[in-house]
Amino acid sequence: MTEENKKPLNLGAMARQLRIPATWLRSEAEAGRIPHLRAGSVLLFDPEVVERIVFDRVRESPKRTEEVPRGQ
């Protein structure tokens, strides 16, 4: 891991890195489902921790598409 990845990221930077909407990340953080630090009005995130949480959720979530039977 590079030194750059160890720095906390603000909301916009974290959302861009994960390619997710900042509004979703903010709502998850404010609901207590994503760990963060609040510095005044700024939300700060540990990229390593947030990536692990988000990617674990994706792996655990049910598949969004259902397989369509062939020949029908």
User: Which CATH number goes with the domain that contains 22?
Assistant: 1.10.10
- Is 34 contained in some domain? yes
Does residue 68 form part of some domain? no
Number of domains in the chain: 1
Query: Which of helix, strand or coil describes residue 62?
Result: coil
For the stretch 21-69, pLDDT in tens is 999 999 999 999 999 999 999 999 999 999 999 999 888 887 765 555 6
Strands (E), 1-72: 9-10, 37-39, 42-45
Does 67 reside within a domain?
no
Q: Which amino acid is at 38?
A: R
Q: What pLDDT score does 61 carry?
A: 82
